[in-house]
């Protein structure tokens, strides 16, 4: 076992002074946010999936509000997470690309800055792209737990203490640049390959060491980690937190590679479940065969089951420690995951339900009964909701609404947007993008690229799998939504147009 | 050589950096890379100097400029090849042994050849002389880089 899991959290944090102090006023509820990376509602039994992938989540849901139509705002980590943290859509925070940060004017407009006066704030992420955001927000964090604190392997350099004031530039300089991650050429001629060889050697040793426990390989977030150690570390953090606290924890599972523990490995191999997989979309990059996609979907499901085992421990701890009685606990994801239309993963320009529809389960302090909420909700709603729950005013910059069930009202006609613009500059008007607008039971999606342009329109009640594109018949709802979409694009582009 | 490789990598990254970093940050990244390249160059040079002291005078210290140049060139070639084959999996041990063996043999062979061929020595020294002009560019950039890294992190 790794020592890090047992070290008091104050010893691990980059900023730990504030974490150990008492914060006033007392009596306010804690806010605990657990984000599971690349976690699609599509594959979760709680949301009607054909495999029993997350029984412990279902257990938790028995005393929580289950949001059945909750959407992220982007289909990969930076846009989705930045929206969750800032309460704004990607066209505002501009974290469009893998390496991008939140633009400067939103760096201090986020969930930690809203709550920092009355709550001890703590951020932890296993995903380096989110850890980079936490660096941007460090001024508002009492504790920023280093990315590798609960990992079995350490390879990142950007978070070394000498770069304490410049995490973002150090990140861009070292990660995937001076030292490559995976394939490619390092900027460092001699140290680059030497460092990578050492890293790969460490990985081989760890993989061999834990082969019995992890038959498909050790979980990998660029640093190898063990599911149980990460959970131990998280629970240790919670145990040492001063209350009331705002704790944000971004876990890498069930992000690929799908590496379940031995007990869940091949668990669904011989079941009868067969998912309905469509053929490739014109924008599909992988064009994988249906058999391959089904196999990968099964691996994903087995990894989910394995992660759910660990989540069961988290739930038991929350219950036993009394945190369920004095905390709002949010469980969600940054984005979904697809094994359909030729694509596997989430680095795609496609906007379909498995990529956008993410779980959201929220437990109120002392809640004993399950609630089901079917209204469309969005990641931009989390910040205003948390602000309201913690007795703070809702910031004027927030673009979402207070969640129904947590003080907000159901608004069935509201518009929910999801944007993917990874090939568009953050500083230029939106020209190359995928944008979906979901309103009530309808979804309009626009793909705007040099190689492919077009609209698609789906009735999600009649066709939840989005198989029948109704745009050709151009129903009235599609026309209205198209007008709203174009207006919105025009609005958000205004400030980026050349004078 | 180290700096040129670093500049190549930087230029390769610039198009994607332009999508999400402002000019100030891109320049800062460049200076980080230059500062790191300076440290790398110093350590590589130190290793060569150490080699010169450890090996008999005639083997390496005599004709140090062209012999060191040949050694670094072969090592750089080997490292570039290694970079090209490294992926998410460690290559087999034999690959490292073969690469190391071929590189070592190439260095010995080339040094022997250059040691005995005055013309080759002259050509190599001419190249070293031309390349040393780059020092006037890279040394100030690296020094500024170190200052930039220190200012950004310590003040």
Give residue-wise pLDDT tens across range B42-92: 999 999 999 888 988 888 888 888 989 999 999 999 999 999 999 888 899
Q: Which has more pLDDT, B16 or A444?
A: A444
Q: What's the mean pLDDT in A136-142?
A: 92
Output the pLDDT for position A288: 92
Q: Do the chains contact at A188 and B6, CB–CB below 8 Å? A: yes
B contact test, residue of A96, A101, A103, A173 with most B CBs within 10 A = A173
Q: What's the pLDDT band for A182 if we cut at 50, 70, 90?
A: confident
Least confident range from A125-129, A334-338, B97-101, B151-155: namely B151-155
Calculate what percentage of chain A has a pLDDT beyond 70: 94
Q: How far is CA B80 from the centre of its chain?
A: 10
Burial class of residue B36 in the structure, from the number of CB atoms within 10 Å of its CB (0-12 exposed, 13-18 middle, 19+ buried): buried
Tell me which H or E stretch contains A284.
Answer: none
Q: Is the pLDDT of residue A11 over 50?
A: no
Q: Do the chains contact at A426 and B19, CB–CB below 8 Å? A: yes
**How far apart are alpha carbons A462 and A441 in whole angstroms?**
9
Q: Which of A169, A200, A204 sits opposite B29 (nearest CB)?
A: A169
Q: Do the chains contact at A427 and B22, CB–CB below 8 Å? A: yes
Does the bond joining A244 to the residue before it have cis omega, within 30 degrees of 0?
Answer: yes
Q: Dihedral sign, CA of A387, A392, A396, A401?
A: positive
Q: Do the chains contact at A190 and B40, CB–CB below 8 Å? A: yes
The minimum CA-CA distance between A332 and chain B, rounded to whole Å, is 27
Cα–Cα distances (Å) from B7 to A90, A188, B140, B151, in that order, read 32, 10, 14, 22
Q: Do the chains contact at B19 and A173, CB–CB below 8 Å? A: no
Chain A residue nearest residue B45, CA to CA: A190
Q: Do the chains contact at A190 and B33, CB–CB below 8 Å? A: no
Q: Do the chains contact at B9 and A162, CB–CB below 8 Å? A: no
- Residues of A in CB contact (< 8 Å) with B are 94-97, 99-101, 162-166, 168-170, 172-174, 177-178, 180, 182-193, 196-197, 200-201, 203-204, 423-427
Q: Do the chains contact at B9 and A185, CB–CB below 8 Å? A: yes
Q: How many CB pairs under 8 A join A and B?
A: 120
Please tell me the pTM assigned to this model: 0.91
Question: Which tens digits make up the pLDDT trace of B107-124?
Answer: 999 999 988 898 998 999
Q: What's the mean pLDDT in A250-257?
A: 97
Q: What's the pLDDT band for A14 if we cut at 50, 70, 90?
A: low
Q: Which of B5, B90, B153 sits opposite A201 (nearest CB)?
A: B90
Q: Do the chains contact at A427 and B89, CB–CB below 8 Å? A: no
Mean pLDDT rounded to a whole number for chain A: 91
Residue B6 with chain A: CB contacts under 8 Å: 178, 187-189
Q: What's the pLDDT band for A197 if we cut at 50, 70, 90?
A: very high
Q: Which two tokens stand for residue A166?
A: 């410049």
Q: Do the chains contact at A187 and B18, CB–CB below 8 Å? A: no
Q: Which of A100, A193, A426 sits opposite B79 (nearest CB)?
A: A193
Q: Which two tokens stand for residue A148?
A: 């590798």
For the CA atoms of A298, A301, A302, A307, what is the dihedral angle to 10 degrees?
A: 160
Mean pLDDT rounded to a whole number for chain B: 91
Tell me which H or E stretch contains A458.
Answer: strand A453-459
The minimum CA-CA distance between B62 and chain A, rounded to whole Å, is 25
Closest Cα partner for A145 from A9, A345, A319? A9
């Amino acid at each position: 076992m790794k020592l890090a899991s047992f070290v008091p959290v104050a010893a691990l944090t980059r900023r730990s002074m504030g974490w150990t102090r008492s914060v006033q006023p007392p009596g306010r509820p804690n806010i605990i946010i657990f984000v599971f990376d690349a976690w699609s509602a599509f594959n979760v039994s709680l949301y009607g999936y054909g495999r029993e992938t997350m029984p412990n989540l279902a257990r938790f849901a028995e005393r929580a509000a289950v949001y059945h139509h909750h959407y992220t705002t982007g289909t990969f980590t930076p846009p989705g997470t930045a929206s969750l943290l800032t309460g704004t859509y990607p066209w505002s925070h501009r974290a469009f690309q893998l390496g991008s940060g939140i633009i400067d004017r939103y760096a201090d407009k986020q969930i930690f800055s809203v709550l920092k006066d009355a709550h001890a704030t703590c951020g932890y992420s296993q995903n380096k792209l989110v850890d980079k955001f936490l660096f941007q927000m460090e001024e508002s964090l009492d504790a920023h737990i280093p990315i590798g604190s609960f990992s079995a392997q350490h390879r990142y350099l950007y978070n070394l203490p000498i770069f304490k004031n410049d995490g973002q530039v150090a990140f861009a300089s070292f990660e995937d640049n001076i030292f490559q991650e995976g394939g490619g050429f390092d900027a460092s001629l001699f140290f680059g390959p030497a460092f990578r060889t050492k890293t790969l050697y460490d990985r081989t040793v760890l993989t061999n060491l834990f082969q019995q426990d992890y038959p498909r390989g050790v979980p990998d977030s660029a640093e190898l980690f063990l599911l149980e150690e990460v959970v131990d570390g998280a629970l240790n953090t919670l145990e040492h937190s001063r209350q009331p606290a705002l704790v944000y924890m971004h876990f890498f599972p069930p992000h690929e590679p799908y590496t379940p523990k031995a007990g869940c490995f091949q668990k669904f191999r011989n079941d009868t479940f067969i998912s309905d997989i469509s053929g490739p979309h014109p924008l599909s990059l992988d064009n994988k065969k249906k058999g391959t996609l089904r196999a990968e979907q099964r691996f994903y499901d087995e990894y989910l089951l394995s992660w759910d085992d660990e989540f069961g421990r988290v739930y038991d701890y929350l219950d036993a420690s009394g945190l369920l009685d004095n905390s709002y606990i949010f469980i969600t994801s940054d984005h979904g995951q697809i094994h359909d239309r030729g694509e596997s993963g989430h680095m795609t320009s496609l906007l379909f339900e498995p990529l956008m529809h993410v779980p959201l389960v929220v437990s109120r302090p002392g809640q004993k009964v399950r609630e089901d909420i079917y209204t469309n909700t969005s990641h931009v709603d989390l910040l205003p909701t948390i602000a309201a729950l913690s007795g703070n005013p809702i910031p004027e910059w927030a673009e979402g609404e207070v969640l129904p069930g947590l003080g907000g009202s159901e608004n069935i006609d509201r518009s929910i947007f999801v944007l993917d613009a990874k090939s568009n500059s953050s500083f230029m008007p939106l020209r190359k993008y995928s944008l979906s607008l979901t309103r009530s039971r309808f979804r309009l999606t626009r793909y705007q690229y040099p190689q492919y342009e077009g609209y698609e329109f789906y009735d999600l009640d009649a066709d939840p799998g989005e198989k029948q594109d109704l745009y050709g018949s151009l129903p009235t709802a599609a026309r209205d939504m198209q007008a709203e979409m174009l207006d919105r694009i025009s609005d958000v582009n205004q400030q980026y147009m050349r004078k | 050589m180290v700096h040129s490789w670093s500049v190549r990598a930087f230029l390769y990254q610039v198009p994607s950096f332009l999508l999400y970093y402002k000019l100030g940050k891109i320049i800062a990244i460049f200076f980080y890379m230059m500062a790191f390249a300076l440290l790398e160059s110093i350590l590589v040079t130190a290793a060569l100097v150490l080699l010169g002291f450890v090996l008999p005078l005639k083997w390496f210290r005599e004709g140090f400029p062209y012999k060191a140049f040949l050694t670094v060139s072969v090592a750089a070639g080997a490292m570039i090849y290694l970079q090209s084959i490294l992926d998410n999996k460690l290559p087999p041990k034999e690959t490292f042994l073969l690469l190391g063996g071929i590189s070592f043999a190439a260095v010995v062979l080339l040094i022997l050849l250059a040691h005995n061929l005055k013309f080759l020595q002259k050509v190599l020294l001419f190249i070293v002389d031309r390349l040393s002009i780059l020092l006037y560019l890279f040394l100030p950039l690296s020094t500024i880089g170190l200052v930039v890294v220190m200012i950004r992190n310590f003040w």
